[in-house]
């Protein structure tokens, strides 16, 4: 019985963690405001592999995963 209860607790905890980590897509306008970089600079950094790749959302829409942008900012801060 303890094993079943413990397994259920682990599954329930993982589910709660996943719900807390809902991924958000940042659109271009917000990304420009957050980074202060131009469209051309972002494009160049993406091609160099030093900036997160954009997600194609369909048509002319694109966005970036918020967690990837946060990681990029964190790496920049640690590198100074």
Whether residue 62 has pLDDT greater than 80: yes
Per-residue pLDDT tens digits for 2-50: 555 555 555 566 565 656 668 999 999 999 999 999 999 999 999 999 9
pLDDT attached to residue 12:
63
Look at the pTM and tell me if it is higher than 0.95.
no
pLDDT attached to residue 22:
82
pLDDT attached to residue 72:
96
Please give the Cα distance from 32 to 40 (Å, whole number).
11
Q: Are 52 and 69 in contact (CB under 8 A)?
A: yes
Average pLDDT over residues 50-71: 95
Q: First vs last Cα of the chain: how many Å apart?
A: 53
């Amino acid at each position: 019985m303890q094993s079943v209860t413990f397994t259920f607790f682990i599954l329930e905890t993982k589910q709660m963690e996943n719900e807390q980590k809902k991924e958000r897509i940042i659109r271009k306008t917000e990304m420009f405001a957050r980074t202060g970089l131009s469209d051309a600079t972002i494009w160049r950094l993406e091609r160099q592999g030093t900036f997160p790749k954009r997600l194609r959302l369909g048509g002319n829409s694109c966005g970036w995963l918020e967690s990837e942008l946060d990681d990029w900012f964190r790496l920049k801060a640690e590198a100074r």
